[in-house]
């Protein structure tokens, strides 16, 4: 932390295995993880240094120093040091608590156990003590906390399969090879530690954590600077007044004050007075503001942590606010950037339907042949009689089992293909059960389906594949593996069955395989195409299944050419691709599969509700285009009702620019022109619209762009076109994007749109995006903890985002804005009284209040009521906040607290200060008390004003409070009681006897407040201060009610009679076909399978498909929109509300 020498760039690393003494001379970093900021010795100096870097703390420290100068200060030092120490202490406690949890998290990782060879013995060692060069033994499912080099493995050919869920959110297995020279060292998996701790790839690429500030924080900083300027202006005015007064009037008092004529310079007096008034008027920006804001944010964070409706019982995971500084920003989100796998989806694939030889299997029909909905009461196919079945697999159509039993050759061939054409690996667990290690959940679903129907994949070698066909073991010779890539969008295997027949089995995207079919398949193709459209309309991911019988002689010639192509050094890939194309033709169509990629529960409802809240959702995923589009349709980000879906797939910057231009032309119409952000469009006639471009778009549009095109679109001369088009679309889907591109997209919107962004993901590949956005949210599920550790908020399910934003975010913004408005108001009212008093005290910097009242006003008399309002207040209930997402819009538009609202609060405080000073001043002018004595002594005047102030601000906060709790009542009325208790105590004989110099005004409070005229003055001051506010709010409520005002009125009416809402009959959404080949991100590992080194292969790509939710999404959305419209329309028949 205090190291001044920057670490030089490491070009190479020399390591001796199992030789700590040799490796230590290179001073490599240890494996201890450090994310904490302090330790016991450094906490106090570093924390104080950080705190006094804040302008406000440094400013109040400067004021404290000024108050120690007798010639300047008319206030005692404790009026500043008490609140300053309080703020510093509370902030230090908060920082210490946060760092304690960072220490705790670090220790949890550092103290995990590993097995290391030390002194030729295998010993248990904590991961934090592992050194570079140590040989580490790993076992199955063991955690890894360093960058390791694979030396040997218990698997054949030195292979090792790793799951990188904590890195990239993917549960797919990855293949790693041991070094050839070390692969036979041992049967156990052994690895050499290469990079430890901060040198690991994860720590190097985790990025620097940015300090995030809310828009309200940034606005407050600006306003505080303005207030400082205002404070300086007031000081200058009063200093000039003092100089003039000293020059013209002050000489009359110098003899009385025993001053010599030459000892008082009016200019110097004004200079000293300036600093004196800077001290006195500093409460216009009280230091308690900052500590109050932190307390309120802490309370909001605990509300998120305690929310049972965001608790996921499936994994016993509560929501967690991992930061306490961004809560109100949750109420201002305009753009959400979401990962797909594990965030929107469960990453769980389920075989749902298939089409074989023109017949659909997986649907349930009634007696007359009409399709019926599948309910829980419907009995599923019983697979329990089979010993190797997957118990969780369910299918409700019994006809497929009947076709298998009847020996339908097409059905058998279909299932045989599913059991042979894949990259799955099999193994048996300790209980003898067959376990599949899948690199793609899609392939796992297909192989599991074939397994349950009696075609069980058992094992594979580099040359063979063994399956069990209806109880009979059959071994196929694997002749060739035609691998998947993004261009081919298909994979094939060529096998020889025991009868000597050579067959090519292929599965892939319909758009590709349909072109490879034999002409004799025309009738079946048409029927299967209709089935695919039906599957896609139900939100299922589809693949086409086909095969071809090969002649032995033809295959040998082809295989010889393939060997030559593999050995070629020139145009090797092109030759191999051409040979693949040659043999994958004249295929015979078998059918198609339909897989459900399950969305997380509540995703559709959440997406729809957030869209109604005017929040735009962008999906940034590494998946292929078809898969991303399918999920978009599944969760209603994309709909068939959209006017258009623009697909950008150019391979050069010129192509991308041209596609963006055409998309904008299509969006605006053929006749359009841009001028200063305005647009002219044609809709039966040309209309010039005087609004921003977004408001001219009446339809719904979506943009889909892949990673290659995005790389060009993010270039400086194209990104503005991309941003303009993307922001005009309701939905944006970016596919095949890298983690860096995700962060770049977020930064693009942040920089050019001036909008609050939120990024949500579940894997380490989302970390850069999460750190770049204003708000980062991590999904804490089965995908690891890296996204959670980098996030600001975390929970277990995407659906909780709706409640986080629409309830907690909106409430936090609403409460913080009310708190700030009230806080600035009461402090202007409190402080500006000194300004008016200065004109009547010779600009002498005399305070109108007692110094103890000045000290206690913000930290005792008014702190708790405003904290209660800032923590507990709510305009509408949480359910109404969810039911009416349009309530979220004021936060997006910064309507509740902005510069205009600040000046209104300032004017309100200015008016109140005038009433507080001049009403008592006028009432006391030449007035005699009830006892016949003069009532206008300084301390009686101060007591009257102070009492009026406390009562006025308490009544004002009572008017501002929308939601009353016991705490609000206790704090508001208790603060008034506390004020009187302290007031009478400070003016009592007992306190005077103990501190005669500090409390000299004995009995003044009793004397003043025993007079009826004083209470009449207090009452008049209170009424004069409050009545204008009451009148204004009454008129506004009835003439120009806000949406929340209307909902509150509606709530009251609903308590008397709650109408029953009728439900529409469910309708099925029709859909255009969206099928695609959905294997995983990278090219497959067919070469590894056939090389003799395989047993498990790299990334088999995910099949495409859509999610078919059991809950009818269209019907739910229509009801929600209708419910919202009816609700708003019922508030006011005369006021149109835009939905």
Cα 422 to Cα 235, 384, 391, 1098, distances in angstroms = 81, 25, 22, 11
DSSP 1080: -
Backbone angles phi, psi at 496, to 5 degrees: -115, 125
DSSP-derived 3-state class of residue 377: coil
Query: HSE of 372 in the Cβ direction (CA atoms, 13 Å)?
Result: 13
DSSP-derived 3-state class of residue 354: strand
Residue 339 is among the residues annotated as catalytic for this protein: yes
Q: List residues bridging with 371 in a β-sheet.
A: 365
Task: Give the distance from CA 544 to its chain's centroid.
Answer: 37
Give the total residue count for the chain.
1139
Which distant-in-sequence residues (6+ apart) come within 8 Å of 713 by Cβ?
648, 656, 660, 705, 719, 721, 722
Tokens of 201: 């790839």
Task: Answer whether 709's CB lies under 8 Å from 741's CB.
Answer: no
Tokens of 90: 């509370």
Q: Do the strands 616-620 and 731-735 form a parallel or antiparallel pair, or are they unpaired?
A: parallel
Q: List residues bridging with 163 in a β-sheet.
A: 173
Q: Is the dihedral of CA 712, 747, 765, 603 positive or negative?
A: negative
Task: Answer whether 219's CB lies under 8 Å from 225's CB.
Answer: no
Give the Cα separation of 685 and 487 in Å (integer).
44
Which distant-in-sequence residues (6+ apart) come within 8 Å of 751 by Cβ?
none
Residue 122: count of CB within 10 angstroms of its CB: 13
Tokens of 91: 């902030």
Task: Answer whether 241's CB lies under 8 Å from 840's CB.
Answer: no
Give the Cα separation of 975 and 575 in Å (integer).
85
- Each as own residue / partner, the long-range contacts of residues 145-148 (CB below 8 Å, 24 or more positions apart, any chain) are 145/31, 145/33, 145/109, 145/112, 145/114, 146/31, 146/193, 146/194, 146/195, 146/196, 146/197, 146/200, 147/193, 147/194, 147/195, 147/196, 147/199, 147/200, 147/201, 148/191, 148/192, 148/193, 148/194
Which distant-in-sequence residues (6+ apart) come within 8 Å of 624 by Cβ?
486, 735, 736, 1076, 1077, 1078, 1079, 1081, 1101, 1102, 1104
DSSP-derived 3-state class of residue 685: coil
Q: List residues bridging with 465 in a β-sheet.
A: 460, 476
Residue 703: count of CB within 10 angstroms of its CB: 24
Write down the catalytic residue from 168, 307, 339, 442: 339
Give the Cα separation of 37 and 789 in Å (integer).
15
Give the Cα separation of 201 and 966 in Å (integer).
54
Task: Answer whether 1085's CB lies under 8 Å from 1098's CB.
Answer: yes
Give the Cα separation of 1074 and 948 in Å (integer).
71
Residue 762: count of CB within 10 angstroms of its CB: 33
Task: Give the distance from CA 869 to its chain's centroid.
Answer: 26
Give the Cα separation of 522 and 519 in Å (integer).
6
Q: With both helix axes pointing from N to C terminus, report the angle between 938-960 and 810-838 in degrees, rounded to the nearest 10.
A: 160
Residues forming the active site: 339
């Amino acid at each position: 932390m205090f190291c001044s020498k920057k670490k030089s760039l490491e070009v190479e690393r020399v390591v001796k295995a199992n030789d700590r003494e040799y490796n230590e001379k290179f001073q490599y970093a240890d494996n201890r993880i450090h994310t904490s900021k302090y330790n016991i010795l450094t906490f106090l100096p570093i924390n104080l240094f950080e705190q006094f870097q804040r302008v406000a703390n440094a400013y109040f420290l400067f004021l404290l120093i000024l108050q120690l100068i007798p010639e300047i200060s008319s206030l005692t030092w404790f009026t500043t040091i008490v609140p300053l120490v309080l703020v510093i202490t509370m902030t230090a406690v908060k920082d210490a608590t946060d760092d304690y949890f960072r220490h705790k998290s670090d220790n949890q990782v550092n103290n995990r156990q590993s097995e290391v060879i030390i002194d030729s013995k295998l010993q248990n060692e904590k991961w934090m003590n592992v050194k570079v060069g140590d040989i580490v033994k790993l076992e199955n499912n063991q955690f890894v906390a360093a960058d390791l080099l694979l030396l040997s493995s218990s698997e054949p050919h030195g292979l090792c399969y790793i799951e990188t869920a904590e890195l990239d959110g993917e549960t797919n297995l990855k293949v790693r090879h041991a070094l050839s020279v070390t692969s036979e060292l041992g049967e156990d998996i052994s690895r050499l530690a290469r990079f430890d701790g901060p040198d690991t790839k994860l720590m190097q690429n985790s990025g620097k954590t940015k300090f995030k500030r809310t828009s309200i924080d940034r606005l407050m900083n600006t306003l505080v600077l303005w207030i400082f300027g205002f404070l300086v202006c007031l000081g200058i005015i009063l200093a000039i007044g003092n100089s003039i007064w000293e020059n013209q009037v002050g000489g009359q008092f110098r003899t009385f004050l025993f001053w010599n004529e030459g000892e008082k310079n009016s200019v110097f007096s004004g200079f000293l007075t300036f600093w004196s008034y800077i001290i006195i008027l500093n409460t216009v920006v009280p230091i308690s503001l900052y500590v109050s804001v932190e307390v309120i944010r802490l309370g909001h964070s605990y509300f998120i942590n305690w929310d049972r409706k965001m608790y996921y019982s499936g994994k016993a995971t509560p929501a967690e606010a991992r930061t306490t500084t961004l809560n109100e920003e949750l109420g201002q989100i305009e753009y959400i950037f979401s990962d797909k796998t594990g965030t929107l989806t469960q990453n769980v694939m389920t075989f749902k339907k298939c089409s074989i030889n023109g017949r659909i299997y997986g649907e349930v029909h009634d007696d007359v042949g009409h399709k019926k909905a599948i309910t829980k009461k419907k009995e599923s196919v019983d697979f329990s009689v089979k010993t190797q079945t997957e118990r969780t697999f369910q299918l409700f159509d019994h006809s497929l089992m009947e076709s298998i039993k009847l020996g339908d050759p097409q059905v058998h061939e279909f299932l045989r293909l599913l059991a042979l054409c894949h990259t799955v690996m099999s193994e048996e667990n300790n209980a003898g059960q067959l376990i599949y290690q899948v690199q793609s959940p899609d392939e796992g679903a297909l192989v599991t389906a074939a397994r349950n129907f009696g075609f069980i994949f058992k094992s594979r070698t580099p040359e063979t594949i063994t399956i069990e066909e209806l109880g009979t073991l059959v071994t196929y010779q694997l002749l060739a593996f035609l691998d998947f890539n993004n261009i081919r969008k298909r994979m094939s295997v060529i096998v020889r069955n025991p009868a000597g027949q050579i067959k090519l089995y292929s599965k892939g995207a319909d758009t590709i395989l349909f072109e490879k079919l034999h002409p004799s398949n025309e009738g079946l193709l048409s029927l299967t195409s209709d089935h695919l459209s039906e599957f896609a309309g139900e939100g299922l991911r589809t693949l086409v299944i086909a095969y071809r019988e090969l002649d032995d002689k033809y295959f040998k010639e082809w295989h010889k050419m393939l060997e030559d192509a593999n050995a070629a050094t020139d145009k090797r890939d092109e030759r191999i691709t051409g040979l693949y194309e040659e043999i994958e033709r004249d295929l015979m169509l078998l059918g198609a599969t339909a897989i459900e990629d399950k969305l997380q529960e509540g995703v559709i409802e959440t997406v729809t509700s957030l869209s109604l809240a005017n929040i735009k959702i962008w999906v940034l995923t590494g998946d292929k285009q078809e898969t991303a589009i399918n999920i978009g349709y599944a969760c209603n980000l994309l709909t068939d009702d959209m006017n258009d879906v623009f697909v950008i797939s150019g391979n050069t910057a010129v192509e991308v620019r041209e596609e963006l231009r055409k998309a904008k032309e299509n969006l605006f119409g053929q006749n359009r022109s841009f001028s200063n952000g305005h647009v002219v469009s044609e809709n039966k006639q040309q209309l010039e619209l005087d609004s921003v471009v977004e408001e001219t778009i009446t339809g719904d549009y979506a943009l889909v762009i892949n990673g290659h095109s995005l790389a060009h679109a993010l270039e400086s001369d194209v990104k503005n076109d991309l941003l303009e088009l993307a922001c005009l679309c309701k939905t944006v889907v970016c596919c095949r994007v890298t983690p860096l591109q995700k962060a770049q997209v977020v930064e693009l919107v942040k920089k050019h749109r001036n909008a609050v962004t939120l990024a949500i993901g579940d894997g380490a590949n989302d970390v850069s995006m999460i750190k770049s956005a204003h708000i980062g949210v991590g999904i804490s599920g089965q995908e690891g903890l890296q996204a959670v550790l980098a996030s600001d908020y975390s929970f277990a399910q995407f659906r909780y985002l709706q409640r986080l934003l629409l309830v907690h975010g909106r409430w936090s913004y609403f409460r913080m804005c009310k708190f700030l408005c009230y806080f600035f108001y009461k402090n202007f009212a409190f402080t500006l009284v000194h300004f008016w008093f200065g004109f009547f005290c010779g600009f002498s910097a005399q305070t109108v209040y007692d110094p103890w009242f000045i000290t206690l006003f913000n930290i005792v008399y008014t702190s708790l009521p405003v904290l209660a309002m800032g923590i507990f207040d709510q305009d509408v209930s949480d359910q109404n906040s969810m039911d009416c997402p349009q309530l979220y819009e004021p936060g997006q538009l910064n309507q509740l607290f902005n510069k205009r609202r600040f000046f209104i609060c300032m004017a309100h405080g200015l008016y109140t200060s005038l009433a507080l000073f001049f009403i008592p001043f006028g009432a006391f002018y030449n007035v005699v008390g009830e006892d016949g004595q003069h009532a206008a002594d300084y301390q009686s005047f101060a007591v009257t004003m102070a009492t009026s102030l406390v009562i006025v601000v308490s009544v004002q906060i009572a008017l501002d409070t929308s939601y009353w709790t016991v705490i609000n009542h206790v704090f508001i009325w208790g603060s008034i009681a506390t004020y009187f208790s302290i007031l009478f105590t400070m003016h009592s004989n007992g306190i005077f006897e103990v501190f005669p110099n500090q409390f000299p005004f004995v009995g003044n409070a009793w004397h003043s407040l025993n007079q009826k005229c004083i209470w009449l003055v207090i009452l008049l001051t209170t009424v004069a201060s409050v009545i204008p506010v009451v009148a204004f709010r009454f008129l506004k409520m009835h003439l120009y009610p806000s949406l929340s005002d209307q909902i509150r009125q509606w709530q009251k009416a609903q308590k008397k009679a709650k109408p029953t809402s009728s439900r529409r009959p469910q309708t099925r959404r029709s859909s255009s076909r969206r099928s695609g080949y959905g294997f995983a991100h990278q090219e497959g590992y067919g070469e590894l399978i056939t090389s003799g080194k395989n047993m498990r292969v790299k990334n088999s790509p995910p099949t495409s498909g859509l999610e078919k939710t059991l809950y009818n999404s269209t019907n739910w959305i229509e009801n929600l929109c209708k419910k919202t419209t009816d609700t708003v329309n019922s508030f006011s028949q005369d006021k149109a509300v835009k939905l």
